[in-house]
């Protein structure tokens, strides 16, 4: 991803900052083994501060992603909002431009939850037959209570 910010306007004045907002169009990508697509554009706000030996880059990202639920595998949409910061030596700046695209991609991969679920109450898939338990029940033996533990299930029903 090639997002560059021109810092020519702040390079001569120590302590000054530059703020820019971008609408970033993200392509589908594979993150943590899941195919993720995006409701474009993503909002990307960047502040760059001219420090003594480096530029300090602070960014805020807000986007909507479409990804499969880790339990039931149905696609759902989630909002993801995160901040990230990094420092860049002035020696690394080429043609008065700072590239922030690679930093965005790295932080984007880190911002996704390991187990994204469509709903905290998602029941997932039956491990025996594979039916989506949010849509229908199944009669698999794994959902039947062991007769030796049936009295314990009565206690659970009393607590509700």
Per run of 10 residues, the mean pLDDT along the chain (length 160 residues) is 84 88 90 88 92 90 94 94 90 85 87 91 89 87 70 71
pLDDT of residue 85: 92
Contacting residues for 3 by C-beta, under 8 A, at least 6 apart: 22, 24, 44, 99, 100, 101, 104
Residue 143, token pair as written in the block = 């959902």
Contact between 133 and 125 (Cβ < 8 Å): yes
Exposure b/e, 4-17, CB count within 10 A at least 16 = b: ebebeebeeeeeee
Domain ranges, ordered by start, for the chain: 4-122, 125-160
Give the residues across from 78 on adjacent strands.
Answer: 65
pLDDT of residue 143: 59
């Amino acid at each position: 991803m090639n997002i560059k910010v021109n810092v020519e306007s702040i390079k001569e004045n120590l302590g000054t900052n530059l703020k820019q907002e971008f609408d970033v169009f993200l392509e589908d990508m594979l993150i943590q083994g899941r195919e993720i697509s995006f409701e474009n554009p993503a909002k990307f706000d960047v502040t760059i501060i001219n420090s003594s030996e480096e530029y300090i880059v602070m960014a805020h990202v807000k986007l909507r992603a479409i990804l499969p639920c880790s339990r039931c595998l149905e696609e759902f949409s989630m909002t993801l909002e995160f901040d990230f910061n990094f420092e860049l030596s002035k020696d690394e700046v080429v043609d008065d431009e700072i590239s922030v695209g690679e930093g965005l991609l790295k932080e984007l991969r880190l911002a996704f939850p390991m187990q994204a679920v469509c709903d905290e109450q998602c029941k997932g898939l039956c491990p025996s037959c594979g039916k989506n338990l949010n849509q229908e029940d199944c009669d698999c033996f794994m959902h039947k209570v062991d007769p030796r533990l049936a009295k314990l299930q009565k206690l659970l029903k009393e607590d509700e």
